Structure 1
Amino acid sequence: MKNTKELRTWLDDMNLPHPLVIAGPCSAETEEQVLKIAHELKDSDVNYYRAGIWKPRTRPGNFEGVGALGLGWLKKVKEETGMKTCTEVANAAHCKLAIENDVDLLWIGARSTVSPFIMQEIADALQGTDKIVLVKNPVNPDLALWLGGIERLYTAGIKNLGAIHRGFSTYEKTKYRNIPEWQLAIEFQNKFPDLPLICDPSHITGNREMIQEVSQTALDLNFDGLMIETHFDPDNAWSDAAQQVTPDTLKQIMQDLRIKKETNTEVAYQSSLDNLRAQINVADNQLLETLGKRMKVADQIGALKKEKNVAVLQSKRWNEILGNMILEGEQKGLSEEFVLKMFKAIHQESINHQEKIING
């Protein structure tokens, strides 16, 4: 699979004045709920109405979707509002039913993308379809696995493709439900700049209060659209209540987002500059996260030294590290002066952490 302009034909043909917007409830709960939300969204920027029909949950016993019954509700959405519809598919049977019920866009979830077996089953079931198919990133940060899933679909003759960035699972406690790992999404764009890339801030944040912020970051990084879970009564939603917004909130989010348009040289420059600065912001945040992890390890070393009555400063070890880092830095285009200053500051902070533990 090679990057070509044809990869984004389906999106360009829509000729949208704003980013692609996919919105609707996490889960289709009742016919009344599905239709009520759709009617509240029909006069907004929403291009596709989403609703989860089959809901793969982490643990059994939770609401796992209404099943094929909900496909009839999506049909009514199209009939009553004219909105195009979409839902998640996870196996060949889902694909068959969705196509039979004229769902316009299908997406493949993170738990499915992680399995080449499932992706091949779906690719075989959708072979040659002209439906739009979007692939969410796998739960783990594996770019090859993500691209591999898309390539299976492309090889099956499915040309209307795109990707959804929904963040990655982590055992660490962060402010995100799924850490965005923006650098990986940037690498995705670098490999396939013409493959439409959509951001799912609902699953990245797990918190409706952060959706605006993450959506803006995505647009600053030249994402092509957003998938935002929307419910008229989010707090009482049957699944993922904390990350859903009301239709009115969604409209306000879209109104407040700063959307760049390349209409002349000056705007093109500013757009490129904003994109590069957004990448720097992502890299800076990753630096801070890495340094935080390093200091946690330093704390553990401090506790071990305290237990064994060992001095904080190990000069031989420090000199070895410094020499190695200078060489590594030179290979990455970093001056010796910069590397020395940076690692001396890091080393001093590590000493401070260890001394606090040893003398605490």
Structure 2
Amino acid sequence: MILKKLFNKKNHKNPLIISGPCSIESPNQLEETVSQLVDQGIEIIRGGVWKPRTRPGSFEGLGSIALPWIQEVKSKYPVKFAIEVASAEHVEEALKYDIDIYWIGARSTVNPFTVQEIADSLKGTGKPVMIKNPVNADLSLWMGAVERFQKAGITDLAVIHRGFSNFRDTIHRNSPLWQIPIEFRTHFPEIMMINDPSHISGKRELVPLIAQKALDLNFDGLMIESHIDPDNAWSDAQQQLTPADLKKMLSELKTRKVKFEGQKMKSQLEEIRQQIDQADHDLLEALHRRFELVEKIGEYKKLNNVAVLQLDRWKEIFESRPEWGKPLRLNKDLIQEIFGLLHQESIRKQTEILDSE
């Protein structure tokens, strides 16, 4: 139980840190990176051997040629090594060199057949597995991948939140969409959750911000790409940190208390939570009143043969509600998302009324 053992060793006071280069490029590059990371207390090294890329022509890893280099490094330093595998053939090759930990990439997680193939190939090996979220924001696919490994008898599991493709996000390489990993944890609270700020940010200057956000949300660990010469890295150069910069960043990150200490603190928290409960109750009553009015609108439209969707009215709501929220210091995107959902439900209710006898 490598992952759980290393995490429990930290006594839950500090996050588990996994670090190493995006791609293994040479024996010297690998050993120098590992040497510097070990000096910082890093016990799990990540390194790209096979690199599934979105488009052809990008560097796709050196493949099996890098596996003996990993074996050599492990003989010199007290580390475990994690690599990505995307097929049963990858697993077979990696097992020959006793690779310690296997992760399933975002492009593999989207394909249940690929996930099942890898799960079957690792069955009975006792190897730990880390499963990245799928490329797109599909919680069921992520959960399904975990369940396939569980059914294969693999219990030393972790998941990696590396963000989701979103063409409208101009800040992150992959949108974090924090609500998805949070919901995942409600279904699998016992599974370690690791954040990958490198792939979420896509820029090294954003890595600390994403990492801190993950710790604030009580993630169990971080997987951070580190390279001795990031600017000249063969892949993902912009998002990798030098080991020295990684050390500085880790020293500045703040870990939060998991539990509240002291009766006074607990009492204050409980009082605020009761106020939140009352606010939520008031909110639900307001929603009930709103949908009662929506049903009246539906009845009127049915009686007067009026179409359900009125674009001018929807445009008015979509533009006015964020303006109403400004003096209340409410997030514009949140308001638009909430009223988008309310509009969908209003359309559904009115359509049911029009279709009823």
Task: Name the TM tier (shorter chain).
Answer: 0.7 to 0.9
1:249 maps to 2:245: yes
User: Could you tell me how far apart the structure 2 residues matched to 1:77 and 1:100 are?
Assistant: 16
- Give 1:58's match in structure 2, choosing from 42, 54, 60: 54
Shift in Å, 1:15:
3.8
- Give 2:15's match in structure 1, choosing from 12, 15, 19: 19
Partner of 1:300: none
1:232 maps to 2:234: no
1:73 maps to 2:56: no
Q: Deviations over 1:286-326 (max 9, x none)?
A: xxxxxxxxxxxxxxxxxxxxxxxxxxxxx99549976xx9x
Partner of 1:118: 114
Partner of 1:48: 44
Partner of 1:100: 96
The TM-score normalised by the length of structure 2 is 0.73
Partner of 1:358: none
Q: Deviations over 1:8-58 (max 9, x none)?
A: 844554345521111000000011100110011112132211110001111
- Give 2:136's match in structure 1, choosing from 115, 122, 140: 140
Compared with structure 1, are the counterparts of its residues 179 and 268 closer, same or farther at alpha carbon in structure 2 (3 Å cutoff)? Answer: farther
1:199 maps to 2:178: no
Q: Deviations over 1:34-88 (max 9, x none)?
A: 0110011112132211110001111112211111111111112211111111100
8 Å contact kept, 1:167–1:180:
yes
Cα RMSD, aligned residues only: 3.3
8 Å contact kept, 2:43–2:78:
no
Amino acid at match of 2:120: D
Partner of 2:123: 127
Partner of 1:333: none
8 Å contact kept, 2:157–2:192:
yes
Partner of 2:217: 221
Shift in Å, 1:345:
2.2
Q: Deviations over 1:164-221 (max 9, x none)?
A: 0000011224110000000111111122122100000000000000000000000000
Amino acid at match of 2:231: D
8 Å contact kept, 1:262–1:268:
no
Partner of 1:345: 324
User: Could you tell me how far apart the structure 2 residues matched to 1:216 and 1:316 are?
Assistant: 42
Shift in Å, 1:129:
2.5
Name stretches of at least 5 consecutive residues in structure 1 with no aligned partner.
1-5, 277-314, 326-340, 350-360
8 Å contact kept, 2:198–2:207:
yes
Name stretches of at least 5 consecutive residues in structure 2 with no aligned partner.
273-309, 327-331, 333-357
Partner of 2:279: none
Query: What SS is found at the alignment partner of 1:22?
Result: strand
8 Å contact kept, 1:110–1:137:
yes
User: Could you tell me how far apart the structure 2 residues matched to 1:237 and 1:117 are?
Assistant: 32
User: Could you tell me how far apart the structure 1 residues matched to 2:149 and 2:264 are?
Assistant: 33
User: Could you tell me how far apart the structure 2 residues matched to 1:124 and 1:319 are?
Assistant: 50
| Stretch moving more, 15-24 or 92-101 | 15-24
8 Å contact kept, 2:91–2:122:
yes
User: Could you tell me how far apart the structure 2 residues matched to 1:123 and 1:316 are?
Assistant: 49
Amino acid at match of 1:345: W
8 Å contact kept, 1:7–1:161:
no
Amino acid at match of 1:112: S
Amino acid at match of 1:45: G
User: Could you tell me how far apart the structure 1 residues matched to 2:199 and 2:238 are?
Assistant: 10
Partner of 1:284: none
User: Could you tell me how far apart the structure 1 residues matched to 2:43 and 2:210 are?
Assistant: 20
8 Å contact kept, 2:218–2:258:
no
